[in-house]
Amino acid sequence: MFGRLLLQLLRGSRGRLAVALIAIVSGAAVISALLNLDLDVGSKLTQEFRTLGANVVIAPSQSQGSSPAKTNVAASLSAPGLMDENLVLQQMKSVKTAQVVAAPYLYVIARADKTPVVVAGTWVDETQRLSPTWKIEGNRVESRDDQAHALVGRNVARELHLAPSSEIALDYLGRTAKLTVAGIVDSGGAEDNQVFVNLVVAQQLSNLDRQIGLVQMNVGGGSKNVADVAAKLAAALPDYDVHPIRQVAAAEGALLARLRLLIFSMVALILVLTSLCVLATMAALAIERREDVGLMKALGGSISRVVGLFLAEVGVLGAVGGTIGSIVGMVLTRWMGHRVFEATISMRWEIIPLTIALMIAVALAGASPLRMLGNVKPAVIFRGE
Amino acid sequence: MFARLVGESFVRNPRRKILTAAALVVGMAVATATLTIALDAGDRLAREFRSLGANLLVRPQSDTLPVEIGGVDYRPVDEGAYLQDADLGKLKMIFWRHNILGFTPFLDVPAILDVSEPPVATTVIGTWYEHDVPVPDGTHFRTGLKATHPSWKVTGKWFADDAKECVVGADLAAAHPDAIQVGKPIEIGSSIVSQVRTPLLVTGIVSTGGAEDQSVLVPLSVAQELSNHPGQFRQLFLSALTKPADALSIRDPQSLTPTEYDRWFCSPYISSISYQIGQAIPGVDVHAIRRVADTEGRILSRISTLLWIVTLAALGAAALAVAATSATTVLERRAEVGVMKALGARNMIVGGIFLAEQLLLAVVGGAAGYLLGILLARALGQSVFGVPGSPRMILFPVVLGLAALVAILGSLFPLHRAAHFEPAAILRGE
């Protein structure tokens, strides 16, 4: 009986309910998309921030009594401030995941054509992932075993009149290395003044076999993961100094907090607007239904039963609207992911029941005008007042 | 007659208008607030990014190759070219001067430190923390590390820019815990052979995570004296608010048509700001620090797309709410329509009266919504960005127009249905 009445009611005022349904569906779609985005925006933003470069650095410890200004610089040949390549790389394997990009560095101040120039020995093939913002004119160096090619900073190229495929001879205390310039690097920073060669070349040039001065790492997965990786490495390499570069983490954290707050405010505002929309429709419905209610009451229906019937109707509306809206929201999320981040936003299924519950709550809140029906006096209605 | 009918409707039965008016006020308040926030957000978020530090680097054009590792220049002082710090005020005279949030000159000098026997070789970095730069228009601009390197943390306090004070890098201080302590002086000389020593009071210990941790930071004037290069510095880090790069900004300014050139010059692209700095101080090479500038530009353009999508969603919800309430109002007044029609009013007149009422309501409700929206934007801006959103007059006509459009669109469909009402049926109460 209750079910049949409900069905009749839903069918009876299709047009009216369609407006409320549209409001609920669009509200649910936007809210579920925004909640999904909110849960994923952290990892997306972290991904974007990785182009800022290294966020963890492994350097020789200062307590070894080295001359501080010369640390990381092989020029102070007595070999303090250097690290054992094998030891460091072995330990780095333990944290090596897809989220970690790392490269060792050995700096040598060599001479090229009598001009002192900083030679950075590293895995040149890894620079593409570690410093994706570099603009390179010419070719990259594709292998870390390539001992014949080098990347040259913009200022070095200008000073020494180098172009891709020209020759550069590096000299360090009588040892020389002859290389071909593969490409010119434009970074806007100190790298513009450096020559990038593979680690082996720098080690041979400085006669520091299997020694490195610095490891730069780019760890993804948010500031917590960065801290975890740094702590793990610090425990594994007690003789060296592992420190995260906090500047990036701080900026990322602040931006993320603001963004999430903004998304939440929008969700709240849209919820208010959706319930307003339902409220308007239900007010109209209540006016239209006064006669039905009068009839029901005249036939002996109790107030609670009549209002209960209407509330059930609204609840169904909220549930149906919420379900359709969540599905539309999934599509919207995919579109937003591609439009904004050029990546897929991972779907969170727990958002669907949450959205449906929210929509039922909004619909019931919007149905408050139906309570006016409780005061309807059948006699007055039938008299046409 | 027409005006009286509309006026009477408001005076006689204000209760009927409450729902639509409330929806209009709330909907337009939300529209105003979200638009205000969206217009402000780009600028606010760009400022947030400036905590990453400088995004432009200025160097002398005729410089020799800097021997620079980890941000410290190891060249001897008599090599290479310098810039004049007296020129820096001109930076605040360029077209985009308000977008220049700060700049800091650096002068790296190899030095020795009498903290142990033999003395320790280190690098003295001359810079500003908070320095008043005289601008040619007679004002002063306060800038320095505080503006361009906000992530550098100091225990103790920073040096005063006109005092013989210094801040020591954390690693250097840790290596000589007895000789280097906050509140005690240290002796600095330019080389082993020179007997001249400058006493500097250590005011703090700085930790940056970079090569500065192994250096001594001093006021620029002290470094200039030490290196015997008064009024000069090596490089300038500059932090500017910029617009993300787009198709226009990456083109060569020489290849632009005059209109495009004007548009390029009058947009705060990093390339146009660099160009204007190069014009203000001749003989410099201005280059964007790609690592910072590219990352910032890309994230900013993504977030602003996201923000506009969210804003449009909120606007859509507001429009739907207003349209739904307008429709309700018209239906609610079927009896009135019936009476008017029975008295011989044509559909045109009935529709005109209702639309005029809705329009009047939209203007009043939209204006009230705008005022409420300003308050909402202030509160939202305060909680999200820590700065209240500033009201924008341009939004007032936009919001009014939106309110009128949505209210009329919402009434059109029920009015169309009302045109087919049979007066007799309505008046009978069917």
Do residues B264 and B177 both lie within one domain?
A: yes
* Residues within 8 A of B (CB atoms), A 266-285 only: 266, 269-270, 272-274, 276-277, 279-281, 283-284
Put simply, the answer to whether B214 touches A71 (Cβ < 8 Å) is yes
* Residues within 8 A of B (CB atoms), A 197-236 only: none
The per-residue pLDDT for A73 is 46
Put simply, the answer to whether A49 touches B299 (Cβ < 8 Å) is yes
* High-pLDDT (> 90) share of chain A, %: 15
A287 and chain B in contact, CB less than 8 A: yes
Q: Which residue has the higher pLDDT, B329 or A196?
A: A196
Q: Is the pLDDT of residue B18 over 50?
A: yes
The residue segments making up the domain with residue B319 are 2-45+302-428
Per the domain annotation, does B378 fall within a domain?
yes
Do residues B210 and B71 both lie within one domain?
A: yes
Per the domain annotation, does B186 fall within a domain?
yes
Listed residues B255, B288, B321: the one ending a domain: B288
Mean pLDDT to the nearest integer, A78-87: 70
Do residues B112 and B245 both lie within one domain?
A: yes
**pLDDT tens profile A186-231:** 988 888 889 999 999 999 998 888 888 888 888 877 777 888 888 8
The per-residue pLDDT for B1 is 66
Please state the φ and ψ torsions of residue B388, each to the nearest 5 degrees. -60, 140
The per-residue pLDDT for A67 is 41
The per-residue pLDDT for A343 is 81
Compare all CA atoms of chain B with the CA of A383 and give the residue at the minimum distance: B429
DSSP E strand boundaries for chain A = 56-60, 83-84, 100-112, 115-122, 135-138, 149-153, 167-172, 175-186, 194-198, 211-212, 214-219, 240-244
Q: How confident is the model at residue A383 (pLDDT cuts 50, 70, 90)?
A: low
Mean pLDDT to the nearest integer, A173-195: 89
**pLDDT tens profile B224-265:** 998 888 999 999 999 998 888 888 887 887 888 888 888 888
Per the domain annotation, does B295 fall within a domain?
no
Q: Is the dihedral of CA B109, B114, B116, B117 positive or negative?
A: positive
Listed residues B263, B288, B313: the one ending a domain: B288
The per-residue pLDDT for B157 is 92
Q: How confident is the model at residue A69 (pLDDT cuts 50, 70, 90)?
A: very low
**pLDDT tens profile B289-298:** 888 888 888 8
Q: How confident is the model at residue A71 (pLDDT cuts 50, 70, 90)?
A: very low
The per-residue pLDDT for B13 is 66
Cα gap A160→B64, rounded to integer Å: 10
Do residues B189 and B59 both lie within one domain?
A: yes
Per the domain annotation, does B50 fall within a domain?
no
Say what the ipTM of the complex is.
Answer: 0.75
Do residues B330 and B424 both lie within one domain?
A: yes
The per-residue pLDDT for B15 is 64
Task: Show me where the domains of chain A are located.
Answer: 2-47+255-383, 55-244
**Six-digit token pair at B143?**
């800038």
Q: How confident is the model at residue A75 (pLDDT cuts 50, 70, 90)?
A: very low
The per-residue pLDDT for A382 is 64
Strand partners, B104: B237
Mean pLDDT to the nearest integer, B206-231: 88
B394 CB burial (10 A radius; 0-12, 13-18, 19+): exposed
B63 sits in the region (left: phi over 0; alpha: psi -120 to 50; else beta) called beta
Nearest to A118 among B67, B172, B380 (CB): B67
State CA B132 to chain mean position distance: 23
Listed residues B242, B261, B288: the one ending a domain: B288
What is the overall mean pLDDT for chain B?
84
Question: How many domains would you assign to chain B?
Answer: 2
> DSSP string of B280-311?
HSTTEEEEE-HHHHHHHHHHHHHHHHHHHHHH
Do residues B274 and B355 both lie within one domain?
A: no
Do residues B40 and B135 both lie within one domain?
A: no
Per the domain annotation, does B326 fall within a domain?
yes
**pLDDT tens profile B139-194:** 999 999 988 888 888 999 999 988 899 999 988 888 888 888 898 899 888 877 77
What is the overall mean pLDDT for chain A?
81
The per-residue pLDDT for A380 is 67
Put simply, the answer to whether A258 touches B45 (Cβ < 8 Å) is yes
The per-residue pLDDT for A70 is 41
Q: Is the pLDDT of residue A128 over 70?
A: yes
Do residues B351 and B310 both lie within one domain?
A: yes
A56 and chain B in contact, CB less than 8 A: no
Chain B residues with beta carbon closer than 8 angstroms to that of A281: 324, 328
Residues sharing a CB contact under 8 Å with residue B156, sequence separation 6 or more, in sequence order:
B167, B182, B202, B203, B204, B205
Measure A117 CA to nearest chain B CA, in Å: 6
Count Cα neighbours of A114 within 13 Å in the Cβ-side half-sphere: 0
The per-residue pLDDT for B356 is 87
Per the domain annotation, does B294 fall within a domain?
no
* Residues within 8 A of B (CB atoms), A 130-169 only: 131, 133-135, 155-156, 159
Do residues B103 and B238 both lie within one domain?
A: yes
Per the domain annotation, does B128 fall within a domain?
yes
**Six-digit token pair at B248?**
């226009």
Q: Give kind and range of the element (H or E) at residue B153.
A: strand B153-156
**pLDDT tens profile B384-407:** 778 887 888 888 999 999 889 888
Nearest to A19 among B64, B293, B324 (CB): B324
Strands B284-288 and A83-84, bridge-based pairing = unpaired
Position B95: which residue type?
F
Q: Is the pLDDT of residue B360 over 60?
A: yes
- Nearest to residue A256, comparing CAs of A37, A30, A31? A37
Do residues B251 and B360 both lie within one domain?
A: no
The per-residue pLDDT for A247 is 67
Do residues B39 and B81 both lie within one domain?
A: no
Do residues B30 and B94 both lie within one domain?
A: no
